[in-house]
């Protein structure tokens, strides 16, 4: 077991040594700054003022750092987060295969399965860290702009959520939802990892995984697919928003995240089977 963690640490250090691993962090800081500026402009602020006022609440109390953090995460995390997660996960096997490093690694007494487990876990760790960074940096920038204080206003019409929380309850819901969001976005890493196990270029693995996720999202938003919503993975990935509901539907969340876990595990197993069948010597 000690050797496993030593190898896993080496795999994580190798991943963190690549410059592209950190592109997502810088891109999100830039995006968050732009979105905060947009949300603070009179036009955007008036839109939220009307919604909050119609519910009989004070705009000044609920247009807070927590509200801005939620708006930023909900607006950008799926598309931009998906891009950088698939970029790293799609690279993790395909890039080393392209460079010929896998032949050197497998010359040592380590099985292909163990190697893939290490890389798969590293992708999940990266996905978790990136999403947590996005969630808390968005809140941090909101605090710099608005200061701490005020409640949380959640407006997510697609999930039927419109709620108001005080600062302590809002922070609790925000933290809980950030954990669920990390779990949701782990599926993007699983999809990219699966394609990375094939004999294709790293860029092809990334583009294919991202294309699947975007097509899934676009089809889901088309009302004509309402009857087939249960077949679309983005329907389950959006479950994190339900943690902002006044009464959290725990049974629904358990079902949805069990499905996501099952799909992710299936993709890993299929990736292993594909990789095991490959001839890495030629």
Look up the domain containing 268 and give its range. 2-275
Q: Is 239 domain-assigned?
A: yes
- Residue 33, pLDDT score: 80
- Residue 42, pLDDT score: 59
- Residue 44, pLDDT score: 67
Q: Is 282 domain-assigned?
A: no
- Residue 191, pLDDT score: 95
Q: Is 107 domain-assigned?
A: yes
Q: Is 109 domain-assigned?
A: yes
- Residue 174, pLDDT score: 94
Q: Is 45 domain-assigned?
A: yes
Q: Is 281 domain-assigned?
A: no
How many domains, in total, are found in the chain?
1
Could you list the mean pLDDT of each consecutive 10-residue stretch along the chain, which spans 282 residues? 78 80 85 77 72 80 86 85 90 77 66 87 93 91 81 85 89 94 94 92 91 88 74 90 92 95 96 83 58
Q: Is 280 domain-assigned?
A: no
- Residue 251, pLDDT score: 95
Q: Is 97 domain-assigned?
A: yes
Transcribe the chain into DSSP letters: -HHHHHHHHHHHHHHHTSGGGGHHHHHHHHHHHHHHHHHHSHHHHHHHHHHHHHTT--HHHHSSHHHHHHHHHHHHHHHHHHHHHHHHHTTTTHHHHHHTHHHHHTTSS--HHHHHHHHHHHHHHHHHHHHHHHHHHHHHHHHHHH-S-S-EEEEEGGGTEEEEE-HHHHHHHHHHHHHHHHHHHHHHHHHHHHHHTSSS-HHHHHHHHHHHHHHHHHHHHSGGGGGGGGG-HHHHHGGGGGGGSSS--HHHHHHHHHHHHHHHHHHHHHHHHHHHT-----
């Amino acid at each position: 077991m000690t050797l496993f963690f030593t190898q896993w640490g080496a795999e994580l250090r190798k991943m963190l040594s690549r410059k592209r691993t950190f592109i997502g962090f810088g891109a999100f800081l830039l995006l968050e700054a732009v979105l905060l500026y947009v949300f603070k402009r009179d036009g955007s602020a008036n839109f939220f003022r009307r919604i909050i006022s119609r519910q009989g609440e004070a705009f000044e109390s609920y247009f807070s750092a927590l509200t801005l953090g939620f708006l930023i995460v909900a607006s950008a995390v799926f598309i931009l987060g998906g891009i950088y997660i698939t970029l790293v996960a799609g690279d993790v096997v395909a890039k080393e295969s392209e460079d010929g490093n896998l032949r050197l690694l497998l010359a040592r007494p380590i099985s292909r399965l163990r190697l893939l487990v290490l890389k798969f876990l590293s992708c999940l760790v990266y996905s978790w860290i990136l999403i947590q960074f996005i969630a808390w940096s968005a809140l941090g920038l909101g605090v710099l702009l608005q200061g701490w204080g005020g409640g949380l206003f959640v407006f997510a019409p697609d999930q039927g959520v419109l709620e108001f929380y005080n600062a302590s309850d809002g922070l609790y819901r925000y933290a809980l939802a950030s954990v669920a969001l990390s779990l949701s976005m782990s599926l993007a890493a699983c999809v990219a990892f699966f394609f990375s196990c094939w004999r294709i270029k790293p860029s092809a693995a990334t583009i294919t995984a991202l294309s699947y996720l975007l097509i899934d999202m676009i089809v889901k938003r088309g009302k004509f697919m309402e009857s087939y919503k249960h077949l679309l993975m983005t329907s389950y990935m959006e479950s994190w928003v339900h943690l902002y509901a006044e009464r959290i539907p725990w049974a629904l969340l358990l079902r949805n995240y069990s499905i996501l876990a099952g799909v992710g595990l299936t993709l890993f197993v299929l990736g292993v089977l594909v990789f095991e069948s490959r001839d890495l010597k030629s």
